Structure 1
Amino acid sequence: MEQGQSGIFTQVSHSRTADEVVRQIEELILDGVLRDGDRLPGERDLALQLDVSRPILREALKALESRGLLISQHGGGTYVADIIGQIFSEPVTALISRHSRATRDYLEYRRELEGMTAELAAARATEGDKAQLSRIIADMRAAHAAGEAERELASDVEFHNAIGEAAHNIILLHTLRACYRLLSEGIFFNRKAVFAHSNSGEALLEQHEAIYAAILSGDGKRAKAAAQAHIDFVMRATEDSERAGQRDRIAELRLLNRQGGSSRPKMASADDPTEETRNSKR
């Protein structure tokens, strides 16, 4: 999706080489300003913004494509490639998604990572970062009040991504984006089931509010504790949801068995002679 990018590119230095263009676009991708799927401005506009000739721009874009950072679609523009991908390969993801203990390990991993990220965000968030978090929280509140679960779930992921950006640590930023992609896709657990379980929606909103308030106040210890308490809650809700699901399945199987029992032939008891026995007494 093309974004309002007119202000993110700056004129390169007087030498105006392709290497300088490459370096600037690489840094925008590295810093998370340009995300996978973002469309770059058209060649003419981008050359003007960078103050370079179109041949130099083409050379730079070709170099970035060869590095796997950009993808050009004939007649459709140039896009940032999907460089985040997944933390695990598809076979490994499929393997661990079939084993429930992977869910707890995934959440345990997120607990430590998110605690550290929230603590850094409280110390490093700029006014722009805080404005972004405020916007997301406002959208989350509105979605919750309107009962728009899908929109609230989307705000949930966006909120955690924004905290990763506010931490201003490049490795954390990209690790978390990959981590939250798994969260969005429900690889390890059913977020919708957790969200709907035991009024979790209200509790999750309160937890996000607590993380947000701590980051805005610059209280790193409180932000870390709030982020980890949030994951602790998700762990408990996930386990409760799984247990409830198991109970539902067992109850359904029992009901099906009893309903089907009326059509099965009744077993003869010791006091109920078979037809063959009755015939022999005639």
Structure 2
Amino acid sequence: MSDIFFKIDHSRTADEVIAQIESLILEGVLRSGDRLPGERELALKFDVSRPILRNALKELEARGLLISRHGDGTHVADVTGQIFSRPVMDLIISHSKAVADYLEYRREIEGLAAEYAARRVTSDDIVLLDRIMERMEAAHRNPDFEDEAKIDVEFHHAVGECAHNIVLMHTLRACYRLLSEGVAENRLLIFDHSGGRDALLDQHQAIHRAVIRRDPAAARKAAMDHIAYIEKSMTEAERSGEWQRIARLKLRQHGEPKLMPPAESADR
């Protein structure tokens, strides 16, 4: 964290400090919840006095970009994900039509993000993507469902960041709030399908390969195919669940077949 801040070479004012921290937040280097270094260390990094640093941090807090927690230092505020309020997020997750619309949106926007990522990926981006993929494959081998689900979200975040488009990156981060909420449930449904878990890994690997090979068309197709597979699997799971629900209602309505009473003996 401390290596992302640089010495201010000019007037050494609070405005200079503010501009640098704002840029780091805007570019996605500093994320919601990240803790800034302590005041002494940060002042040394910027090469400014502590009063100047305090004024800068106070202004950034007033703008809603930073938040101070008593006894826990200064953190980046929750600056992403405000497109959907908590009640709207709950509604989207719990209604199948909204989930379908969400996946349709993701299919298009992730295709675009993967295409841009393949065009703009840097050597450092590739190192990051390689590390995430190695962790995903390790979690898959274990198997570690919870860890694999978290890495799933992290992978999609990373591809979005490799696109190097500020608006696209923050839009995706807001979108992935829903993914974080629903990814476990989605995976459970897909895992019920034969080969579903392996298919998801294959799809992530295909996106990874296309991006690091800098193949925009293949990256876009791999990302869109991935979401299309999720859409198809979710639809099939929903239909299967509906069939099961109807069968259960019929059983409750009509009950078990009644056995005919044994015929009375003719000798009686």
In structure 1, the partner of 2:192 is 197
**1:87 to 1:197, Cα distance in 2 relative to 1, 3 A:** farther
1:162 is aligned to 158
TM-score normalized by the length of structure 1:
0.86
Q: 4+ residue runs of structure 1 moved beyond 2 angstroms?
A: 89-99, 192-195, 247-262
Counterpart of 1:130 in structure 2 is: 126
What residue number does 1:75 align with? 71
Contact between 1:37 and 1:82, CA under 8 Å: does it hold in 2?
yes
CA distance in 1, matches of 2:254, 2:160: 53
**Greater Rg over alpha carbons, structure:** 1
- Report deviation, 1:257: 4.7
CA distance in 2, matches of 1:243, 1:210: 28
SS of aligned partner of 2:34? coil
Counterpart Cα distance in 2 of 1:97 and 1:137: 27
**2:265 is matched with which residue?**
none
Contact 2:84-2:174 within 8 A present in 1 as well = no
- Matched ranges for 1:113-128 at <5 A: 113-128=109-124
Q: Secondary structure at the match of 1:7?
A: helix
User: 1:196 Cα deviation (Å)?
Assistant: 1.3
Do the aligned residues in 2 keep the contact of 1:193 with 1:241 (CA within 8 Å)? no
Aligned counterpart for 1:37 among listed residues 33, 38, 43: 33
Query: Please, what is the CA RMSD of the aligned residues?
Result: 2.0
For normalisation by structure 2, the TM-score amounts to 0.90
SS at match of 2:78: coil
Measure how far apart 1:150 and its partner are.
1.1
> Gapped runs of 5+ residues in structure 1?
263-282
Counterpart of 2:215 (choices 195, 216, 219) is 219
Structure 2 unaligned residues grouped into runs of 5+ = 259-268
**CA separation in 2, counterparts of 1:170 and 1:64?**
20
AA at the equivalent of 2:3: G
Q: How many aligned positions are there?
A: 258
Matched, 1:93 2:89: yes
Q: Deviations over 1:168-217 (max 9, x none)?
A: 00011111111111111129x93233331312110011111111111111
**1:102-124 deviations in Å (ceiling 9; x for gaps):** 11111111111011100010011
